[in-house]
Amino acid sequence: MQEVKLYDTTLRDGAQGEGISYSVTDKIRIAQELDKLGIHYIESGWPGSNPKDMEFYLKMARVRLKNSRLVAFGSTRRPHIKASADSNLKAFLKCQAKFVTIFGKTWDLHVKDVLKTTLDENLDMIQDTISFLASRGLTVFYDAEHFFDAYNANREYGLKCLLAAIEAGAKAVVLCDTNGGTLTSGITKVVQEIRPQINVWLGIHCHNDADLAVANTIAAVQAGADIVQGTINGYGERCGNADLIPIIANLKLKLGTNCISDEKLKELTKVSHFVSEVSNMKQRNDQPYAGESAFAHKAGVHINAVMKNPKTYEHIEPALVGNRRRILVSELSGKTAVLIRAKALELDLEKDDPKTKKILKLIQNLEHQGYHFEAAEASFQLLMQRALRKYSRFFELEGFRVVVEKRSEKKITSEAIIKIKVKGTKEHTAAEGDGPVNALDNALRKALADFYPTLSKMHLSDFKVRVLDEKAGTASRVRVLIQSQDEKDTWSTIGVSENIIEASWQALVDSVEYKLLKDKVFKATNE
């Protein structure tokens, strides 16, 4: 069985992605999660470039990792000085990391146009840097920057750079597709040519500018690479890096490589979502293996087949990577989807039951109006409960008013006044918010707080508005999707109306009622 080492660079390369900025605490949390997953090497930053990365390494020196080794990152020494005099290299010794990755120029174009030095001096820079660090007891990896472009432009010199690193004491050399433009066939050809000439570990580092980073990484492993570099969820500069989530799953499940244990593989989806949350990045629903839609089925034919044999439309069992099968309900999915969802809700419903036909017709009519239940599963569950008369509302609205006010140059303020009846008691409250929907949310939860204390543990995490008929202008019907979450779960609800406040209210009420139903708070207002 081929053994492949996993090398994560989320905290360094991934942090260069647009919109991502990690605090030291964020980096520590992610590093600990990657350690639990069983990642072999975690490249966590460039200690010589900024105080934050240095602080991270010094703090992590006191943290015991079970599976991972922290790797510090930096460049070869500057031209025409000694490695021992380079401040960036001295930072490696100070940060206390035992493993170091050095990137160096390999493409003669970069040596001449960027470094403005000679090809021989660049080779000296590689050798001097690695020798200096290795002599201080550090394990050194060498990232051959732009290697595939370099090899195509000047094959002899590209190989000289690798051999210089190995001669100086590098434990591994990593072939980098830094511009991300190499086709998969090109990756395979070069790795196959390089592998017999290298007597140390051979790594692969791909960027995703041609949307081939994952495929290129897998191809490199098949051609003989021992180490794969990538980031969780593919975060990184420009179009991102190779996504370690599908890479790990493919290596383990498709190629049978010894890169991670079966038990650790089940944590893959959780780690993917955890990193997206800490990174403050929206999780890709269509992300292979870990996305919400990775094992979602919508078409009636697909649903019917999957329920008979999952292999008909699923390439692996979702639980292997910690994900789950989802049956989406829409006008396309037919009775089977309705029955499956009813069973999950412990509702008594049969295929030939008139109620089934009634619910399906209701779904089709509502989706014709603009509802979109596959994106709002919580609203669909409430719809099922109401249609089967298995549900009583937790409160009754008597009315609300929203006021938006701007005075001279001051900030716009929103205030919501709401009247509801809950458990036989009338509540009349008001609250302000950053916008009308936020104000409504605050007023509603203020009115319900004494009756349903668990609402304090939920909050709205996303709010989306889509105009459904742009030709109707300001009279267009709009769809509002609200995502909410508590300490355990995330759920989505929907509202549709010509009035954005009304649509928001519908989604907001469903969100609150789903939370209460989920927590099994069953006393409704009219009981």
DSSP result, 397-412: EEEEEEEEE--TTSPP
Tell me the mean pLDDT in the region 242-247.
98
Domain 296-369 has CATH 3.40.390.10: no
Q: How confident is the model at residue 313 (pLDDT cuts 50, 70, 90)?
A: confident
Q: How confident is the model at residue 523 (pLDDT cuts 50, 70, 90)?
A: very low
Specify which of 60-74, 312-326, 394-408 reaches the highest per-range mean pLDDT.
60-74
pTM over 0.85: no
Q: Can you give the pLDDT at residue 289? A: 96
CATH homologous superfamily of 396-518 equals: Alpha-isopropylmalate synthase LeuA, regulatory domain (3.30.160.270)
Furthest-apart CA pair in the chain: how many Å? 86
Helix axes 155-168, 119-135, angle to 10 degrees: 20
CA 259 → CA 4, 42, 138, 229, 230, distances in Å? 5, 15, 24, 13, 14
Asked whether the predicted pLDDT for residue 527 surpasses 60, the reply is no
150-154, 305-309, 398-402: the lowest-pLDDT one: 305-309
Distance of CA 48 to the CA centre of its chain: 28
Asked whether the predicted pLDDT for residue 478 surpasses 50, the reply is yes
Tell me the mean pLDDT in the region 401-417.
85
Q: Whole-angstrom Cα distance, residue 415 to residue 182?
A: 56
pLDDT single digits (tens) 258-282: 999 999 999 999 999 889 888 888 7
Residue 9: which of 244, 166, 201, 170 has the closest Cα? 244
pLDDT single digits (tens) 166-183: 999 999 999 999 999 999
Q: Can you give the pLDDT at residue 236? A: 96
pLDDT single digits (tens) 343-381: 666 666 666 677 777 777 777 777 777 777 766 778 878
Q: Whole-angstrom Cα distance, residue 494 to residue 261?
A: 40
Asked whether the predicted pLDDT for residue 5 surpasses 90, the reply is yes
DSSP conformation class of 295: T
Residues contacting residue 62 through CB under 8 Å, at least 6 positions apart:
none
Residue listed under structure tokens 């980098």: 176
Tell me the mean pLDDT in the region 442-447.
91
193-202, 214-223, 518-527: the lowest-pLDDT one: 518-527
Q: How confident is the model at residue 328 (pLDDT cuts 50, 70, 90)?
A: low
HEC string for 102-170: EEEECCHHHHHHCCCCCHHHHHHHHHHHHHHHHHCCCEEEEEEECHHHHHHHCHHHHHHHHHHHHHHCC
Q: Whole-angstrom Cα distance, residue 342 to residue 249?
A: 32
Q: Can you give the pLDDT at residue 301? A: 75
Asked whether the predicted pLDDT for residue 462 surpasses 60, the reply is yes
Q: Can you give the pLDDT at residue 346? A: 60
Residue 484: which of 522, 454, 447 has the closest Cα? 454
DSSP, collapsed to helix, strand or coil, labels residue 427 as strand
**In the chain, which segments carry CATH 4.10.430.20?**
296-369
Q: What is the mean pLDDT of the chain?
A: 88
226-240, 245-259, 399-413: the lowest-pLDDT one: 399-413
Q: How many CB atoms lie within 10 A of CB 451?
A: 18
The letter for the amino acid at 20 is I
Residue 144: which of 184, 191, 210 has the closest Cα? 191
Residue 231 forms beta bridges with which residues? 243
Q: Can you give the pLDDT at residue 340? A: 65
Q: Which architecture characterizes domain 5-278 according to CATH?
A: Alpha-Beta Barrel (3.20)
**In the chain, which segments carry CATH 3.30.160.270?**
396-518
27-41, 190-204, 234-248, 409-423: the lowest-pLDDT one: 409-423
Torsion angle (degrees, nearest 10) of CA 298, 303, 309, 311 = -20
DSSP, collapsed to helix, strand or coil, labels residue 466 as strand
**In the chain, which segments carry CATH 3.20.20.70?**
5-278
